[in-house]
Structure 1
């Protein structure tokens, strides 16, 4: 897996991702302490609102930001967004009011909603070979999981010698180093971005996404992942501390078990995906999440929670890590930023629904019922994925273009003015998926 780090451009981008993630992890800890410093016992409500603001920014901003940045040089765009995130993080230690937290978090997440899809869309151009790209996806999943484990420990160590306000300096440094690493490389040049009107560019990614059967199936899988993931993220502390009467250390161990499972799956996926098609792997992972939620309704102690969270971590990573492969093969290079932005927005819309659902049901109906309800949500999502994503699909699909002149360059390129076949994606010449598929 680590062989792809020999690619200088990718290795620097990966280093930029890891360092920025560590800085973001420090900010997460510092922001919780800042909220408590300002709001006291209401800190939980402040952080809950901040999380909702984050999701709303992710869902609403990503497609619009991508359309606005459609014709900008990618390296300049990424560096500018890193600098913007650094500027916002630099302002956080100086705020004194709750509304200022909300305003700065919104600005920070707007920049992240613009940065992340653009960053993700660059990787397939740097690593055109699908096996290399699959390994990059697994490394990215590992980076996220390691950040969840390392950042809290690093923050705890730093807090023994400095005040929490100084943790924001680590966040600023992370974004600045990320910007410097991106400046040091040359990104591949792609086809010219599409002109069109602003509305056309804003909705293009969504239209391609929703017109592609495998991506409609992916959206259903994202819902299954969000339902199970929200149960883990929102209710772990409730299960461990309120239900089992344990402490913060046990909460950390539970999250570590979930993260460890996710990392194990990320390490195994490249070889598995060389042998098994994406559809089977991802649907199996989502189905395992359903089973895990059902089992969760019957857990009776911490000793059973840890292996269940490990299992859910494996299923979580298995279901979602290959998604980049589907996006890569579902759009032309010039449309990849738009389709990655659509995935970013739609997947976070699933989380925006599932986060409050898991929290409110857990508080009002109890954990057992909540596990079962979230398992039903995941199960419905799996059924939808199976129905929306046809089995045995092939990249090349036979189709015709009766609307085109026989001399059209597309028909001449394929040597026919009738039925022909090639790797099919939604674009200007192919606005709908062939019925025969």
Structure 2
């Protein structure tokens, strides 16, 4: 497996291990933020507000290419993770179960979201520098594996940790993972500086106008649009799966946990299958959009299938299928973006980030009303919407040719 070959590089190995730990910490942080707010307020709507507040910086900074580009170096990312560690470690010291504690949590979640919105696209821009051009797709698959591992391990580790520590103390663990990540990124910054690489010598990446770039790269713009629709539609599963399982199958938290575990396990298996496929069949720039849209179209059918499933076994199978397809979509798109020059790659990652978070927030705000009215029909409608969008993208993929620069 080429994952193992990539990990023989010390730089890749250090970054991958630290990012895996950091993503796992993020899962713990998300759980802690939700449960701390729920226990203090007893309000589900305020839990949703926490999720929406965290997404706001991703949406706002999507149009601030110059600001985001100022952090396009390893050492800059190390400082961002140092700040995230400080914020996460401060919350248990400042927290109180009252209105002030809720306001404080919102403020710190907003700050962590801002730091994350600056960090994520720059990391995606810098990772291809660690590998050769023919290893970029495999590297995308390797770093996608971090979220798949966190999805499998995070559920169980969170449950075990909550037997030993409080929800607020999970922020301390998250802060420590950010500190480890910051140390790894600082080490990478020193290593690249010693090599006097071009990436270390240059300043912030120049800003690229998003509108012009998307007009030129229509295939990439299509993929971003399909991704946004996918995240909007997927919100129906986030808010609708628990009531669907209760109403149709009489399942409680155990059944919901089983469905989440099935999705996570499918994601892990999908990542490994995608990695093996890339070993024998590298990402084809001519056909990448068709593969991307086809995977989302099948995911739409699986989402609609959840709305009509009459057995719990069918729900678990559909969750596994959905999980299998997520890495195909993520890795295919990231491998395509890696073909762009760093300034354009950063701009496209930022735009995709903005569109994805805006669509996700819209779905979280609008779809609960549909779920309350008709849970099963909501899944069918959301799945049909995703299938239509992905099929339209698949059709466009066959009618447009790639342009220089990766489109």
TM-score (norm 2): 0.87
Distance in 2 (CA, whole Å) between partners of 1:157 and 1:294 is 34
**Change beyond 3 A, Cα 1:298–1:267:** same
Higher relative contact order (CA 8 A, sep 6+): 2
**Change beyond 3 A, Cα 1:139–1:241:** farther
What residue number does 1:53 align with?
Answer: 53
8 Å contact kept, 2:32–2:168: yes
Aligned to 1:336, which of 324, 345, 349? 345
**Change beyond 3 A, Cα 1:342–1:210:** farther
1:367 lines up with 2:375 in the alignment: yes
- Map Cα deviations across residues 399-419 of structure 1 (whole Å, 9 max, x no partner): xxxxxxxxxxxxxxxxxxxxx
**Change beyond 3 A, Cα 1:286–1:222:** same
Q: How does 1:289-368 map to 2 (within 5 A)?
A: 289-329=299-339, 331-364=340-373, 366-368=374-376
Aligned residues: 388
**For the aligned residues, what is the CA RMSD?**
2.4
Q: How does 1:125-140 map to 2 (within 5 A)?
A: 125-130=129-134, 132-140=135-143
8 Å contact kept, 1:215–1:389: no
Distance in 2 (CA, whole Å) between partners of 1:70 and 1:151 is 31
Aligned to 2:181, which of 165, 178, 181? 178
SS at match of 1:23: helix
Q: Which runs of 5+ in 2 are unaligned?
A: none
What residue number does 1:262 align with?
Answer: 267
Distance in 2 (CA, whole Å) between partners of 1:335 and 1:192 is 16
- Cα offset, 1:148, TM superposition: 2.0
SS at match of 2:308: coil
8 Å contact kept, 1:50–1:105: yes
Distance in 1 (CA, whole Å) between partners of 2:19 and 2:291 is 26
Distance in 1 (CA, whole Å) between partners of 2:344 and 2:378 is 39
Structure (1/2) with the larger helix percentage: 2
**Change beyond 3 A, Cα 1:165–1:81:** same
Q: How does 1:66-81 map to 2 (within 5 A)?
A: 66-71=65-70, 74-81=73-80
Distance in 2 (CA, whole Å) between partners of 1:142 and 1:175 is 18
Mean Cα deviation higher: 245-254 or 286-295: 286-295
8 Å contact kept, 2:69–2:122: no
TM-score (norm 1): 0.82
- Cα offset, 1:229, TM superposition: 2.7
What residue number does 1:109 align with?
Answer: 113
**Change beyond 3 A, Cα 1:127–1:205:** farther
**Change beyond 3 A, Cα 1:226–1:20:** same
Aligned to 1:156, which of 148, 155, 159? 159
